[in-house]
Amino acid sequence: MAEFLNGLKRTHLCAGIGKDTLDKEVTLMGWVQSRRDHGGVIFIDLRDQTGIAQVVFNPDISPESHVLAHSLKDEYVIAITGKVAKRPADSINEKLPTGFYEVMVDTLKILNECKPLPFPIEDSIDAGEATRLKYRYLDLRRGSMRNRLVMRHRLSAAIRSFLNARGFLELETPFLTRSTPEGARDYLVPSRVNPGKFFALPQSPQLFKQLFMIAGFEKYYQIVKCFRDEDLRADRQPEFTQVDMELSFVEAEDVRALTEHLITDIFKEVLDVSLPSPFPVLQFSEAMRRFGTDKPDLRIPWELSDFTELARNVDFKVFRSAAESGGIVKGLNAKGCATFSRKEIDDLLPEIQPYGARGLAWIKMTDQGAQSPILKFLHEGFVEELFKRMGAQSGDLLLFQADQASVANPALNHLRECLWKRLYPLSAEDFRPVWVINFPLLEYNPEEKRHIAMHHPFTSPLTEDIPLLKTDPGKVRAQSYDIVINGYEIGGGSIRNHAMALQEQIFSLLNIKAEEAKNKFGFLLEALSYGAPPHGGIALGFDRLAMIMSGAASIRDVIAFPKTQKAVCLLTDAPSGVAPSQLQDLYLKLIPPRK
């Protein structure tokens, strides 16, 4: 039977059992981690927030509690009072920090019982994720999960302390706000008071933090939830946490320097890891050229080589037609992969087909010379240049993609990552940050037949590129920066348009008509016209940061109550249907989903 405390006070925590408590009477409270019943004496590992202590029920000391202890099972919640004793010399457990001591129990109080568990409360994971999520409160009892959440707390504490010390104010912004075009799909909240109208949950506090700048709060930050109704991934949840920052009177270098300092500090503080300094900086165009991605994993030294220009003059149709039709021809030297069999090489194509790759050309470098089905189509000069640029040596496997850049680049980067990992497992304790800066301001969207903002529509162009806005908008670079660690985009930001005229010009480039801009962003345009200071900022993906720093494979492992890939919560069964009266209150009517 579950009992109440009735005045009983906990005097110590499990981790505190040691030399200082020897011979003292202590009261501990916690969970039964395990029970070892020897018929006579019974041992319990008692677990609380701090650790584990062994408590002993001996019939010679307290027959009543010994009898009661027979009913204890895993995860019962108990309070025990007893005297701390040194363990006999041959019974010391050096694996436990408290292993030299134990508590000889006088009285036992069973505070609550526990049904047989769906999975054991142990550090190593063996239950499936669905089971763990359904019983998340049990999953979180496991030390490995608990440590990640503790680490997450230390991380946010370190961030707050860093920013507070530099004069930043943590200011809140609304969750119920308005839906704006561009960007991700919004989560909508119907307004009962305003029939037919909806709030949107913020994809980020972007506009509000800019308004803070205009309001004269020159350094803002917030550790805040953001919401995006898009499909999930291992590193993407529909609600996630950002470290959102904005500063006035700064340029891109200032924001980067501050962010770099912040990240270096928290890695030192939380993990005692010293990051390389300064972080390397890549132009977006350089990142794409050398790595085929805007978020390169710099733990992998391999780089791509570009042969597009040369490929115009070769007989090999696959190469030439790609080069002539606006595509690219690029190669990857997978050093040491010449040992791959023909089948192993053939099996690489399915790896990159998801990116749209239609083939994979290869040259195997062996002691007997180069082997490849494509060599006969390539003239000697071209081949020599290939080898030279790729640094080809015996033992290497050269891989090529000839396709549109949007296919060839990601395909080669994927090969770069997956082949390297096969040879050398990547260390989760090796952190390689890199800045990727000056992204294109706009990208062309063929479906909508217009340019859309690559970052967001408030990003400022590079001053030197402003003239191109009129002549060649696709070439305009933005004052933007992404911070990437180990192939994960950890954060991104930009300098914003603080001049109304420039912002209006960009809206019009985005084909957002003056009227629409006024309707949807009028409040921002108006605010910009009331003395907006130059400003910019950045938002860091807090969950991803916690994931990388804790070595977790998924963002879900650092979120207490995450959603599954279908965006449902297995614990609460959300989302759920609602009562017709609730819909009526909101003037909503459901229509059946399309088949």
The distance of closest approach from Cβ of residue 556 to RNA in the complex, given in angstroms and rounded to an integer, is 6
Tell me which of 30, 410, 433, 536 binds RNA, using CB under 7 A.
410
Tell me which of 5, 234, 514, 578 binds RNA, using CB under 7 A.
234
> Could you give the string, one character per residue 250-289, with x where binding to RNA holds by CB under 7 A and - elsewhere?
----------------------------------------
**Site stretch for RNA (CB under 7 A), options 33-41, 390-398, 495-503, 577-585:** 33-41
By beta-carbon proximity to RNA, the closer residue of 234 and 514 is 234
> Could you give the string, one character per residue 317-356, with x where binding to RNA holds by CB under 7 A and - elsewhere?
-------------------------------------xxx
The distance of closest approach from Cβ of residue 218 to RNA in the complex, given in angstroms and rounded to an integer, is 23
Two tokens at 571? 């614990």
DSSP 183: S
Distance of CA 372 to the CA centre of its chain: 40
Distance of CA 328 to the CA centre of its chain: 31
| C-beta neighbour count of 42 within 10 angstroms | 20
The distance of closest approach from Cβ of residue 90 to RNA in the complex, given in angstroms and rounded to an integer, is 6
**Residue 482 found at the interface with RNA (CB under 7 A):** yes
The distance of closest approach from Cβ of residue 469 to RNA in the complex, given in angstroms and rounded to an integer, is 19
By beta-carbon proximity to RNA, the closer residue of 33 and 333 is 33
* Footprint of RNA on 36-65 (CB under 7 A): 36-41, 43, 45, 54, 56, 58-60
By beta-carbon proximity to RNA, the closer residue of 105 and 270 is 105
For residue 3, the surrounding DSSP H or E stretch is none
The distance of closest approach from Cβ of residue 162 to RNA in the complex, given in angstroms and rounded to an integer, is 22
Q: Are strands 480-485 and 433-437 parallel, antiparallel or unpaired?
A: antiparallel
Pick from 382, 402, 376: nearest CA to 313: 382
Two tokens at 369? 């010379």
* Residues 535, 231: Cα–Cα separation, whole Å: 32
**Residue 203 found at the interface with RNA (CB under 7 A):** yes
Q: Are strands 433-437 and 281-283 parallel, antiparallel or unpaired?
A: parallel
By beta-carbon proximity to RNA, the closer residue of 298 and 390 is 298
By beta-carbon proximity to RNA, the closer residue of 396 and 557 is 557
* Residues 90, 84: Cα–Cα separation, whole Å: 17
**Residue 577 found at the interface with RNA (CB under 7 A):** no
* Footprint of RNA on 175-194 (CB under 7 A): 183-185
Residue type at position 153: H
Pick from 345, 364, 356, 276: nearest CA to 322: 356
By beta-carbon proximity to RNA, the closer residue of 28 and 539 is 539
* Footprint of RNA on 548-567 (CB under 7 A): 554, 556, 564-566
**Residue 228 found at the interface with RNA (CB under 7 A):** yes
**Site stretch for RNA (CB under 7 A), options 4-12, 117-125, 153-161, 334-342:** 117-125
* Footprint of RNA on 521-540 (CB under 7 A): 539
Specify burial of residue 15 (Cβ count, 10 A radius: 0-12, 13-18, 19+). middle
Q: How big is the site for RNA, counted in residues (CB under 7 A)? A: 71
- Residues in the chain, how many? 595
Q: Identify whether the C-beta of residue 31 lies closer than 8 Å to the C-beta of residue 47.
A: yes
By beta-carbon proximity to RNA, the closer residue of 53 and 338 is 53
The distance of closest approach from Cβ of residue 444 to RNA in the complex, given in angstroms and rounded to an integer, is 12
Q: Identify whether the C-beta of residue 490 lies closer than 8 Å to the C-beta of residue 545.
A: yes
Two tokens at 112? 């609550």
In the numeric block, the tokens 């584990």 are attached to: 52
* Residues 320, 312: Cα–Cα separation, whole Å: 5
By beta-carbon proximity to RNA, the closer residue of 43 and 561 is 43
| Sequence-distant (≥ 6) Cβ neighbours of residue 118 within 8 angstroms | 127, 131, 134, 135, 138
By beta-carbon proximity to RNA, the closer residue of 179 and 191 is 179
The distance of closest approach from Cβ of residue 582 to RNA in the complex, given in angstroms and rounded to an integer, is 22
The distance of closest approach from Cβ of residue 293 to RNA in the complex, given in angstroms and rounded to an integer, is 10
**Residue 409 found at the interface with RNA (CB under 7 A):** no
Helices vs. strands in the chain: H and E counts, helices first: 18, 22
**Residue 520 found at the interface with RNA (CB under 7 A):** no
The distance of closest approach from Cβ of residue 145 to RNA in the complex, given in angstroms and rounded to an integer, is 15
Pick from 268, 311, 226, 272: nearest CA to 492: 226
The distance of closest approach from Cβ of residue 453 to RNA in the complex, given in angstroms and rounded to an integer, is 9
The distance of closest approach from Cβ of residue 525 to RNA in the complex, given in angstroms and rounded to an integer, is 21
The distance of closest approach from Cβ of residue 494 to RNA in the complex, given in angstroms and rounded to an integer, is 9
**Residue 231 found at the interface with RNA (CB under 7 A):** yes
* Footprint of RNA on 487-506 (CB under 7 A): 489, 492
Distance of CA 289 to the CA centre of its chain: 25
The distance of closest approach from Cβ of residue 5 to RNA in the complex, given in angstroms and rounded to an integer, is 25
In sign, the C-alpha dihedral spanning 512, 514, 517, 520 is: negative
**Residue 142 found at the interface with RNA (CB under 7 A):** no
Q: Any bridge partners for residue 371, and if so which? A: 364
Q: Are strands 361-366 and 369-371 parallel, antiparallel or unpaired?
A: antiparallel
The distance of closest approach from Cβ of residue 476 to RNA in the complex, given in angstroms and rounded to an integer, is 15
* Residues 547, 14: Cα–Cα separation, whole Å: 29
Distance of CA 69 to the CA centre of its chain: 45
**Residue 239 found at the interface with RNA (CB under 7 A):** no
**Residue 127 found at the interface with RNA (CB under 7 A):** yes
* Footprint of RNA on 456-475 (CB under 7 A): 456
Two tokens at 191? 């307004």
Q: Identify whether the C-beta of residue 173 lies closer than 8 Å to the C-beta of residue 210.
A: no
| C-beta neighbour count of 368 within 10 angstroms | 8
Two tokens at 86? 């040194």
**Residue 248 found at the interface with RNA (CB under 7 A):** no
* Footprint of RNA on 57-116 (CB under 7 A): 58-60, 73-74, 87-88, 90-93, 95-96, 99, 102, 116
Tell me which of 139, 244, 260, 294 binds RNA, using CB under 7 A.
294
Q: Identify whether the C-beta of residue 468 lies closer than 8 Å to the C-beta of residue 475.
A: yes
Two tokens at 531? 């003395």
